[in-house]
Amino acid sequence: MRSYTDINNIDFSIIRERVLRNIRQDLYQEHGYKFDEVEFHDAFDAVVRKHNANAVIEDFVPLLVEAEMKDRLAKGELFPNQAA
């Protein structure tokens, strides 16, 4: 029988990965026709890596990734130039 602590021991990384997968699919469905598929997925992966590397609270990574990708897609720049 599982104890109370076992029941509450949830691996949220799995949930975050599913959320990121859904965000990727939704954004590609909505904006994919504007961009090359490989370029879109490369940009998405780069944004995920950036936010994972800097995350203070990992649960917010999907929200931050979605916001940044929507901004990039709205501007039409998957890889905006970085300020020098």
- Side chain identity at 4, as an amino acid letter? Y
- Whether pTM > 0.85 for this model: the answer is no
14-33: average pLDDT: 96
| Confidence class for position 6, pLDDT limits 50, 70, 90 | low
Residue of higher predicted confidence among 46 and 84 = 46
| Res. 70: pLDDT tops 70 | yes
Contact of 61 with 15, CB cutoff 8 Å: no
Residue 27 structure tokens:
């954004």
- State the average pLDDT over residues 32-44: 95
DSSP string for residues in the chain? ---HHHHT---HHHHHHHHHHHHHHHHHHHHGGGS-HHHHHHHHHHHHHHHHHH-SSGGGHHHHHHHHHHHHHHHT-SSPPPP-
Q: Would you list the domain boundaries of the chain? A: 9-75
**What whole-number percentage of the chain has pLDDT above 90?**
76
What is the pLDDT averaged over residues 57-73? 96
